[in-house]
Amino acid sequence: MTTPRTVLVIGGGAAGNAVTILLRRAGLAVDLVEARDDWNATAGSGITLQGNALRVLRELGVWEQVEAAGFGFGSVGITAPDGTVLHTQADLRTGGDDLPATLGMQRPRLQQILIDAVRASGASVRLGTTAHIVDQDQDGVLVRFGDGDESRYDLVIAADGLGSATRAAIGITAKPEPTGMAIWRVAAPRPTGVTRTDLAYGGPAYIAGYCPTSDETLYAYVVEANRDRASIPPRSYADEMRRLTSAYGGAWPEITAHITDPANVNYTWFDRMLVEGSWHRGRVVLVGDAAHCCPPTLAQGAALSLEDAWVLAQLLGTGSATWDDALFQAYYDRRIPRVRPVVEASVQLGQWQLDGVRDADVPGLMRRTMTMLRELP
């Protein structure tokens, strides 16, 4: 019997979980290491998944669970700050006509579905420890874990996120840069009339929006210019977000009434990053936020990460494929024409608001970008 190739996946977020599931299905031996003891401890409040993300989740075999746990819809409303609906736009079905255009769900629920699928795949999982690249050659990578153990792998996949220590360790110098915007997020009960995302432009924030995440829940957010995080004590998070949201009408008064616990409010700056040239060094390959990140103005961060995992697994899972620079470069060459326009468009949408550009072609840029995403990655 042929010994299966061995892969270490560093990071148990969406990209790491997805590539683990797909590579196990292809018959590879996969270890996944996650630095947190609680794999789902900081999964966040809510997530908006466009159709191209749902397409990958279907490939992972978890679509039925995702559909049951989330809230699907097919349009977005543009409102005035007082809640008056100004325009309703049908969302493009980027995952194909047999999937919802958009689905919102609670992030911890999505993470748990993926965790369960990783466990069921038979992958070996190590929690509460780190993994460091010791050395590598043309045939594999030597890794030392936080507990001192060492193992050798045919390939290491770095899915350790925006601040990836693995990315820096292999000599890639790209780092996330702030775009000038920040977002407040909170989970709350869903008002009966909220059945899609509505976005209000103007008022005390650049954007005030919400997305239903189940029959009972939604997540709400407001986007403003970023502030010095040290000047905002976490105990004031609920007060700060409530101050912003109290200026909005429509469903917002009901949502605002539930913004009371600062521990449930998240404040994050928007960042951008795109690793250029290649997403690998030797036999260490980047996926997801370790390779690229963008503001959530197009709700494509998780989708791009899931697509990375899908494409890389397709290339690695071909039994006759030689794992060399040519294959890893092919992965980058296939992903970069798709990722770059999304990163650039996501940043541009925010920059137009920061600059106060009133005649920007926002609908045109969004339509062109989302139309591209209908094609298979």
pLDDT tens sequence across 154-196: 999 999 999 999 999 999 999 999 999 999 999 999 999 999 9
| pLDDT at 43 > cutoff 70 | no
Buried b (16+ CB within 10 A) or exposed e, 97-127: eebbbbbbbbbbbbbbbbbebbeebebebbe
Phi and psi, residue 155, nearest 5°:
-155, 145
Looking up tokens 């024409």 gives 337
In whole angstroms, give the CA distance from residue 116 to residue 6.
21
Which amino acid is residue 1, in one-letter code?
Answer: M
pLDDT at position 229 is 87
Higher pLDDT pick, 4 / 97: 97
| pLDDT at 40 > cutoff 90 | no
Percentage of the chain beyond pLDDT 70 is 98
| pLDDT at 1 > cutoff 60 | no
pLDDT at position 42 is 61
Count Cβ atoms within 10 A of the Cβ of residue 64 and give its class: 0-12 exposed, 13-18 middle, 19 or more buried: exposed
pLDDT at position 190 is 98
| Of the candidates 167, 163, 158, the residue with the CA atom closest to the CA atom of residue 177 | 163
Q: Cβ of 27: how many Cβ atoms within 10 Å?
A: 11
pLDDT at position 3 is 74
Count Cβ atoms within 10 A of the Cβ of residue 360 and give its class: 0-12 exposed, 13-18 middle, 19 or more buried: middle
| pLDDT at 4 > cutoff 90 | no
What domains are there in the chain, each with its CATH number?
A: 6-43+112-176+273-372 (3.50.50.60)
For residue 114, what pLDDT band results from cuts at 50, 70 and 90?
very high
State pLDDT tens for residues 198-254. Answer: 999 999 999 999 999 999 999 999 999 999 988 999 999 999 999 999 999 999 999
pLDDT at position 45 is 85
Angle at 373 between CA 40 and CA 165, to 5 degrees: 40
pLDDT at position 318 is 78
pLDDT at position 176 is 98
Count Cβ atoms within 10 A of the Cβ of residue 359 and give its class: 0-12 exposed, 13-18 middle, 19 or more buried: exposed
Q: How far does CA 280 lie from the centroid of its chain?
A: 20
State pLDDT tens for residues 8-30. Answer: 999 999 999 999 999 999 999 99
Looking up tokens 């407040």 gives 184
Average pLDDT value over all residues in the chain: 96
pLDDT at position 2 is 64
Q: What are the E-state strand segments in 214-319?
A: 217-225, 265-274, 280-281, 284-286, 292-293
In whole angstroms, give the CA distance from residue 17 to residue 118.
6
